[in-house]
Amino acid sequence: MNLPSNPIGIFDSGVGGLSVLREIRSLMPNEHIIYFGDQGHVPYGPRSMEQIQNFSEGITNFLLQHNAKIIVVACNTASAAALKYLREKFPDVQFVGMEPAVKPAAEKTQTKKVGVLATPATFQGALYASVVERFASDVEIFQNTCSGLVNQIEAGELDSEKTKKILDDALLPMLEKNIDTVVLGCTHYPFVIPLIEKIVGEKVRVIDPAPAVAKQVERLLEARGLRNSSNENGEVVFFTSGDVKSAENVVSKLINEKVEIKSVIWKNDFEIVSSID
Ligand code: DGL
């Protein structure tokens, strides 16, 4: 199989980054995309910073070998643990990362009470602490790691009883504290927005940073003269380090798009050896 030329490279621990991919697709449908879902290692949330840095470095090398012109770290956890590290290791590469959208939430909240849903590694990272300190000093923040939710979404369980319970347990206590805004600080979570909205009701605003990230990617490509000039629809190829069949099942549930799925194998924590046709 031929891979698309000069693609945008996107990665996540699994399928979460597809919430960013779909925004990039709708903004720039003619761009080719190669996506890496590290489903052999998902979830990243409970892992050590060092291990997430190693995985992120291996994936970056892989995407660069396939000529990625920009790399979108479509994972809050990998951004928290490894974005700074990647920028130091690959000074010539343009990276776009995620950070919990605490700034827009702090600007919009009326009650001055905001809920943030993200993984343990994201909450522990310096990036999150600095965003809260800079933008939300006058806001009360309620955090929850939604333990198990990433795995539910990886399994395509967007509306099951277990998924609902995880979200009820996270959100109902926040509602009691009078939050009026919820920040989705993990790229998997936009896939359960319908369920979140059912729980919090229409008076609570749910913030998904993916559209803003897609715009940032567009701005950077334009500024560097890297936009694809063809008007044809771009191709999307999805590499998984997990099981191809399961990836096919879940991807078809999450996005409305024909995506070719290919398998890759890790040699160790920081080197990907093969991709099987
Ligand atoms: N999609 C992820 C994020 O944005 C990763 C979740 C995980 O693997 O724990 O944080």
* The pLDDT of residue 3: 79
Q: Does residue 209 line the site of ligand 1, with CB under 6 A?
A: no
* The pLDDT of residue 51: 96
The answer to whether 195 and 160 have CB atoms below 8 angstroms apart is: no
If one counts every other C-beta atom within 10 angstroms of the C-beta of residue 253, the result is 15
pLDDT in tens, 66-86: 999 999 999 999 999 999 999
- In the predicted model, residues of the chain with pLDDT beneath 50 are 277
Q: In what side-by-side order are the strands of the sheet with 260-268? A: 95-96, 70-73, 8-12, 33-37, 236-240, 260-268, 271-276
pLDDT in tens, 87-141: 999 999 999 999 999 999 999 999 999 999 999 999 999 999 999 999 999 999 9
* The pLDDT of residue 136: 96
Ligand 1, atom 9: closest residue by C-alpha: 45
Phi-psi region of 112 (alpha: psi -120 to 50; beta: other; left: phi over 0): left
Q: Does residue 259 line the site of ligand 1, with CB under 6 A?
A: no
274: helix, strand or coil: strand
* The pLDDT of residue 1: 56
Query: How far is Cα 76 from Cα 153, in angstroms, rounded to an integer?
Result: 16
* The pLDDT of residue 27: 98
Q: Does residue 68 line the site of ligand 1, with CB under 6 A?
A: no
Cα separations in angstroms, 29 against 117, 216, 220? 30, 15, 16
Mutate to test the pocket of ligand 1, among 20, 98, 187 (most ligand atoms within 8 A of CB): 187
* The pLDDT of residue 197: 98
Task: Catalogue the active-site residues.
Answer: 75, 186
Q: Does residue 15 line the site of ligand 1, with CB under 6 A?
A: no
Q: Which two tokens stand for residue 117?
A: 């849903």
The answer to whether 182 and 115 have CB atoms below 8 angstroms apart is: yes
The answer to whether 240 and 266 have CB atoms below 8 angstroms apart is: no
Q: How far is the CA of 45 from the centre of ligand 1 (A)?
A: 6
Q: Which two tokens stand for residue 227?
A: 């936009």
Question: What is the separation of C-alpha 109 from the centre of its chain, rounded to a whole number of angstroms?
Answer: 24
Could you tell me the domains of the chain?
8-98+211-274 (3.40.50.1860), 102-208 (3.40.50.1860)
* The pLDDT of residue 154: 98
Cα separations in angstroms, 12 against 18, 72, 94, 116, 202? 8, 9, 17, 20, 30
* The pLDDT of residue 5: 87
Among residues 218, 228, 261, 234, the alpha carbon closest in space to that of 32 is found at 234
* The pLDDT of residue 275: 59
Give the atom of ligand 1 at the shortest distance from the alpha carbon of 74.
4
